[in-house]
């Protein structure tokens, strides 16, 4: 259906015109092999299983108690029946879903390429593996339909929002690559609905990878943490208490203002604050925009020139990446700002009632320490 976003109309897919029953029909008789049981893997595999799709999981084996293999077994996947090595799953699957980490794509693709034969579909949740095929080596044979559904959220949210009924929006793209375009399009939309998308909006593999890499390095994660730290430590350096600095930087944002933005937009949030806050925010908004725009332009260029992709493959593809990342996350965890955050969260009335239990709920991977 056509929906106007501002002045621009886009063709989107909702569950109304593509209901689950239609998705089940399109995927009937097909085995969907989810390769990788990290964050997206479990979210999408469990949602599809609950939606009546024939799903199997491919995951490298490990004896460790907190490994992805162990988590897959805990989630009810049965070794030899629905849980296999990456190679076996790729061989059995009609739709092979590459949900291993982007950095491991070159290594994993070498193992599974021979099983992704004409007539099958190769699926991604990110344009990375396919667009950067000079780096990843993913060049599927002619006759393999290329499918992408990229949920705009963590795999944890893909599952949680499915369980709550909210769904999560996803972008989608496909390339027939020698297959019938209509078939590839139908499979793409069917998978998009089966993994629990709220609505699906069209993109290209190239646009998805570019916007996604910019977004997560930018406002969604990198810029968010960077700007918060800049304000928190400015307040601290000027003698404000940790509690005051944290409440003015993070707590008020996550517990109040961003929820208003979520409900009705930024303009509405502005119009529901004090005139003093509104006046100052309207004055400083363009100043922050001007100050950060050059950084966003630099970031965009770094993505477009493949610099970011090269770094991801070089750094996340190596054996000790998890340990090195854990050390960096530990440094963030131990920082004054996030230690203050932990203390502030523990004082929220509902957290106290729960005995300060983690609010993680379903899933969520533990930081490796």
Ligand X SMILES: NC(=O)c1ccc[n+]([C@@H]2O[C@H](COP(=O)([O-])OP(=O)(O)OC[C@H]3O[C@@H](n4cnc5c(N)ncnc54)[C@H](OP(=O)(O)O)[C@@H]3O)[C@@H](O)[C@H]2O)c1
36 binds ligand X (CB under 6 A): yes
Give the nearest distance from C-beta 68 to ligand X in angstroms.
3
217 binds ligand X (CB under 6 A): no
CA distances from 199 to 18, 149, 209 (A): 10, 11, 19
How far apart are the C-alpha atoms of 206 and 216, rounded to whole Å? 16
CB-nearer residue toward ligand X: 109 or 246: 109
Tokens of 116: 């992704």
102 binds ligand X (CB under 6 A): yes
Q: Contact region for ligand X (CB under 6 A) — 9-17, 147-155, 236-244, 252-260?
A: 147-155
DSSP H helices, the chain, are: 20-27, 40-50, 68-74, 86-92, 105-112, 128-131, 133-136, 155-164, 181-194, 205-217, 222-237, 242-246, 252, 258-264, 266-271, 275-304, 307-316, 321-334, 336-346, 349-353
Active site residue 126: yes
| 315-354: contacts with ligand X (CB under 6 A) | none
Q: Contact region for ligand X (CB under 6 A) — 8-16, 96-104, 132-140, 356-364?
A: 96-104
**Strand duo 2-5 + 168-175: pairing:** unpaired
Tokens of 302: 């770094």
CB 89 within 8 A of CB 35: yes
150 binds ligand X (CB under 6 A): yes
37 binds ligand X (CB under 6 A): yes
CB-nearer residue toward ligand X: 133 or 231: 133
Give the nearest distance from C-beta 21 to ligand X in angstroms.
26
| 42-71: contacts with ligand X (CB under 6 A) | 59-60, 62, 67-68
- Judged by the rule CB under 6 A, the positions of this chain that interact with ligand X are 36-41, 59-60, 62, 67-68, 99-102, 104, 107-108, 125-126, 128, 150-151, 154-155
Q: Which residues are catalytic?
A: 126
């Amino acid at each position: 259906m056509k929906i106007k976003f501002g002045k621009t109309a886009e063709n989107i897919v909702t569950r109304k015109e593509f209901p689950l029953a239609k998705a089940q029909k399109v995927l009937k008789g097909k085995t969907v092999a989810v390769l990788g049981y990290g964050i997206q893997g479990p979210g999408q595999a469990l949602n599809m299983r609950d939606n009546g799709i024939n799903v199997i999981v491919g995951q490298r084996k490990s004896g460790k108690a907190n490994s992805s293999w162990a988590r897959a077994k805990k989630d009810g996947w049965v070794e030899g029946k629905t849980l296999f090595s990456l190679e076996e799953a790729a061989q059995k699957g009609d739709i092979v879903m590459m949900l291993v980490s982007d950095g491991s794509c070159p290594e994993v693709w070498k193992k599974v390429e021979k099983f992704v034969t004409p007539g099958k579909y190769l699926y991604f949740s990110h344009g990375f593996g396919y667009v950067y095929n000079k780096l990843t080596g993913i060049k599927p044979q002619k006759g393999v339909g290329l499918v992408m559904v990229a949920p705009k959220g963590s795999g944890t949210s893909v599952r949680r929002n499915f369980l709550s009924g909210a769904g999560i929006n996803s972008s989608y793209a496909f390339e027939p690559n020698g297959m019938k375009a209509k078939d590839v399009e139908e499979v793409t939309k069917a998978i998009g609905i089966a993994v629990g998308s709220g609505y699906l909006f069209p993109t290209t593999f190239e646009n998805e990878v570019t916007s996604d890499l910019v977004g997560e390095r930018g406002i969604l994660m990198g810029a968010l943490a960077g700007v918060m730290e800049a304000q928190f430590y400015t307040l601290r350096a000027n003698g404000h208490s940790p509690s005051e600095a944290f409440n003015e930087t993070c707590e008020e944002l996550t517990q109040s203002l961003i929820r208003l933005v979520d409900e009705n937009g930024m303009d509405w949030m502005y119009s529901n604050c004090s005139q003093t806050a509104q006046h100052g925010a309207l004055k400083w908004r363009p100043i922050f925009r001007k100050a950060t725009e050059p950084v966003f332009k630099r970031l965009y260029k770094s993505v477009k020139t493949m610099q970011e992709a090269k770094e991801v493959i070089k750094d996340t593809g190596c054996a000790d990446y998890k340990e090195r990342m854990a050390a960096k996350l530990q440094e963030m965890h131990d920082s004054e700002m996030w230690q203050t955050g932990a203390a502030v969260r523990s004082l929220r009335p509902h957290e106290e009632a729960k005995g300060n239990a983690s609010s993680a709920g379903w899933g969520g991977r533990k930081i490796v320490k």
